[in-house]
A and B are shown apart, each in its own frame.
Chain A
Amino acid sequence: MNKKAVVSVAVVVAIIAALPVLGDNYLMRLGTMFGMYATLALSWNIIGGYAGYPSFATAAFFGLGAYTGALLQGAGVPMPLAWVAACASAALFAALLGLAILHLKGHYFAIASLIVGEVLVEVATSWRSLTGGGMGLNLPVLRMGVEAQSRLFFWSMYTLGVLALLMNWLVARSRLGFGLNCIRQNEDASAMVGINTKRYKVMAFTCSAVLVGGAGAMYASWVYYIEPPDVFDVLTSVKPIVMALLGGAGTVLGPAIGAGVFLVMEEVVWRNFLDVHSAILGILIVALIFLLPNGLLGLAIRRRKAAIVARLPTLAKRRKA
């Protein structure tokens, strides 16, 4: 990304941050959701977009963060500390899980990462003495006005989203991002050019979890009440993937753009077609796969690449039609 792009992104980020000026509670709720969705999609992008590992573990990290935050807050730990602890627990969990399952490829990895969330649901449901089981957990109510609360949660969630964007930017520019790019394209060759593939994959998986854990804990504080099927919902794993694909997986900005577009569509669908909203989400997914296989940003990038191909040098051949 060049300087101009960085500046314009910074301006957009600042403008959205000023959302509370409008004083509209509905917009604030949307803004908070946007922060959360952007966090999830951008986090997934590190393992799914850069490294190309089809992770369905987002829900596991989210739920784990939610329960960590809720339990700590219930035990009297101040809210911000509980959030940080949730980040740490999700990151630690991801690192250990990654060591165990990142040797799997393709479908096997996808299934393993998906099933982890299912097992955690069962654990949270069965461990009644700790988690309240299927009855769920209530969180302490904050002693502040409704408007102040909605501002607090908006800014917190939004900050998390901006951190996720920053993380993507840093990763994309670093050796890690370069290495992950190689791993996605050819893992055997990556080891041969000196990349410690296992370490890089575990790092990517951990990056994809840390902020998601925080988002889970913030969500729990925000809605005051969590239960296993809500915070471990498999859709929490799938939606970020759809957002990232929508905007352009493996790009820095794509997942954030995808999160915004997805949120708007979801909101419209929810308000107008409550009964069939998941069917419409399904249609959206199918349309996305066929009409926008590289995402919104992918369209732009392909144009640029095509321009390079147009002046092909000696040993290059024409792209097949």
Chain B
Amino acid sequence: MLYLQVLINGLVLGGLYACIAVGFSLVWGVLNVINILHGSFVILGSYVAYFAYVHLGIHPFYSIILAGAVLFALGYALQLGLINRVVGAPVLTTLVLTFGLDLLLNNAMLVAFSADYRSIQLANPLGRMDLGEVTLPLDRVASMLFALGLTGLLYLLLGRSRIGRAIVAVRMDREAAALMGVRVRRVYAITFGVGAMMAGAAGSLLALIFPISPLNSSEFLGIAFVVCVMGGLGSITGAMIGGLALGVIESFAALFIGPEHGLTIAFTLLILLLMFKPTGIMGRRGYE
């Protein structure tokens, strides 16, 4: 029964991880840009949810829309104004650029919100549900369902909508898409915006679970890395599977090895994967 409980905890965590990683994966896959800002985007989403709750009483589940909108606008503007100018430049250029932007955003958050950890204390928590010997923390489970729902929604967006198909077309073949009349630069900006939006949405869900501080951003970035490499680049189902797998692995590692080593295990796993199977557990070919 203990194992079942650990498995459930892992899946709950993993659903959120999937939501953190999916936007990062999308940007990497379509733009071939590793967005170092992603961790800070998640944190910014958490702050939006935090202040919306504290000042306006909006439940974090509803803040998803607000945080998503704010982050989409930020991401869209950054891509259109700056990053578009270096898409296609050597890897180092985009990496260093997004790193510089991350220093800027993270420092701005530190100044504006301080490094103090904050957390949301819900006035009306959903509480727990006991099923035999297994306990379900309902707020977390609801967050995870929202996270998976959002990830699924993104999947539908890419598959069904006009803009989604334009994004997929650009990912497949940029030149051909341009010839077909797709405005590539605008699609890039929307893609980056959607990636940021997913980070913001994930952030508002996480605000219920993790303490919020700009110092946490690198941890979320690290999670996005691991999930993305595990699941295979730019694939939404890959991010979903990678996220759930990472959550479960981390949960069991915490049980057997110690809770403080969760991220170390994840990183070690990542290096091993990169060494032996850089295409991810799904076996899809990436930009090797």
Contact = CB atoms under 8 A, between A and B. Distances in A.
Nearest to A116: B271
Interface stretch (B102-110, B116-124, B156-164, B181-189): B102-110
A149 interface: no
A254 interface: no
A147 interface: no
B218 A119 contact: no
A286 B86 CA distance: 11
A284 B91 contact: no
Contact of B288 (A108, A115, A293): A108
- Interface majority SS (helix, strand, loop, mixed), chain A: helix
B286 A108 contact: yes
Given A100-B275, A122-B261, A122-B267, A110 B100 contact: no
Contact of A118 (B34, B222, B286): B222
B111 A285 contact: no
A285 B218 CA distance: 19
Given A111-B229, A122-B261, A104 B278 contact: yes
B234 to A, nearest CB: 12
B interface, how many residues as a size bin?
35 or more
Nearest to A244: B92
B229 A278 contact: no
A278 B222 CA distance: 20
A278 B275 contact: no
Interface string A6-45: 0000000000000000000000000000000000000000
B48 to A, nearest CB: 20
B274 A110 contact: no
Interface stretch (A78-86, A207-215, A234-242): A234-242
B97 interface: yes
Contact of A111 (B103, B104, B274): B274
A119 B270 CA distance: 10
Contacts of B103: 278-279, 281-282, 285
Contacts of A298: none
A275 B101 CA distance: 17
B263 interface: yes
A267 to B, nearest CB: 17
Interface in A92-125: 100-101, 104-108, 110-112, 115-116, 118-119, 122-123
A48 B100 contact: no
Contact of B107 (A105, A122, A282, A286): A282
| Residue of B34, B90, B92 ringed by the most chain A CB atoms within 10 A | B92
A122 B263 contact: yes
B242 to A, nearest CB: 14
B275 A101 contact: yes
A283 interface: yes
A255 to B, nearest CB: 14
B89 to A, nearest CB: 8
Contacts of A289: 86, 93, 96-97, 100
Contacts of B178: none
A30 to B, nearest CB: 23
B153 interface: no
Contacts of A245: 92, 96
B135 interface: no
29 contacts: A54-B90, A54-B91, A101-B275, A104-B274, A106-B287, A107-B95, A108-B229, A108-B274, A108-B286, A110-B91, A110-B92, A111-B34, A112-B270, A119-B264, A122-B264, A126-B261, A126-B264, A238-B99, A276-B111, A277-B107, A278-B104, A282-B99, A282-B107, A284-B100, A285-B96, A285-B97, A285-B103, A286-B100, A293-B89
Which 10 residue pairs spanning A and B have beta carbons closest together? A285-B100, A282-B103, A282-B104, A279-B107, A122-B264, A54-B92, A282-B100, A278-B107, A106-B91, A112-B274
Interface of A: 48, 52, 54, 100-101, 104-108, 110-112, 115-116, 118-119, 122-123, 126, 234, 238, 241-242, 245, 275-279, 281-286, 288-290, 293
Given A100-B275, A111-B274, 12 more contacts: A48-B92, A54-B91, A54-B95, A108-B286, A112-B274, A115-B267, A115-B271, A123-B264, A126-B264, A242-B96, A285-B100, A285-B103
